[in-house]
Amino acid sequence: MSADRENHDMTQTDIAFLLADAADEVEIGIAPVQAVMRGGRRRRARRWAVAAATAVAVLAGSAGATLAVTGLPGGGDRHATVAKPPASAEARHVYDPQRTELARGTYQGGEWSVAVQVWGAPRNEAEADRQFDAMDAMGLKPADVRVPADLIGKISYFATRGWGEEHPQQVMFDTVEQFEHFSGTDMESMATRLGIGGESSGRLVIGKVAKSARQVTCRWKDGTTAVAVPTAGFSAHDTGSAIRVVDGFQGANWFVCTAPVGTSYASAEVTK
């Protein structure tokens, strides 16, 4: 009987201590966050840490944040990633391209200009149909595209040359899944006319070079040269020759060279 009573008393004492300890652990109000900040030695605090981290991830989700949660059971870091909503077709420039002017000048009383347009990749047939119609309205014909659906998942770009009142004509263009990256002295170029008439033929050179290129030298048939260097903006002192960054075009910069009256294109190369 005494042994039973002693065991009974010990049990009551144990229960009393456990209840007191549990009462001491009770938190009021916003206690879970405070408990986590105190170090989380208790298993309960570790559970709160997980809950608190999840709450922060939800709050951060509107900014597309990635939250690293450390010290979870099982070890290692776990990442909760909240994805951003997909960009709209307008934000991706599917229907209205990014346009960068490369050069401008005057020829026989009319203004000439060179520009590059970059169209974002459509993601479905509806976007492709609308993009195809928008290109057609501008007189543009994407490369190797028989039906609008051929545009899905592909970027299109057009280098156009305009003079006076004539409609700008595409002179270099392509439709690709991804941009080609140029390096070193890589170059792709073509010679075309400044305006109308045989005298303007071969006086305008347009091309692509690596983003590291600092100078392109164009040589003309009369032995003279024109040099294009990286340029931003336009001024009254522009020669019509420049290397420029094109908005939305990855992997290469674009350049333009213009020849003087009476000569035309012979060659071009990256010289720096």
Contacts of residue 176, defined as CB under 8 A and 6 or more positions apart, other chains included, come to 154, 155, 156
Query: What is the model's pLDDT at position 4?
Result: 44
Query: In the β-sheet with 265-270, what is the strand arrangement from edge to edge?
Result: 225-228, 216-220, 265-270
Query: What is the model's pLDDT at position 232?
Result: 85
Give the pLDDT of the chain (272 residues) as one tens digit per residue. 444 444 444 555 455 544 555 544 444 444 343 333 333 333 333 333 333 333 333 334 444 433 333 344 455 555 555 667 789 999 999 999 999 999 998 888 888 999 999 999 999 999 999 999 999 999 999 999 999 999 999 999 999 999 887 788 999 999 999 999 999 999 999 999 988 777 888 999 999 999 999 999 999 999 999 999 999 887 666 778 999 999 999 999 999 999 999 999 999 999 99
Spell out where the chain has E strands. 66-69, 78-81, 98-107, 110-119, 155-163, 169-176, 187-192, 204-209, 216-220, 225-228, 242-244, 253-258, 265-270
pTM of the model: 0.68
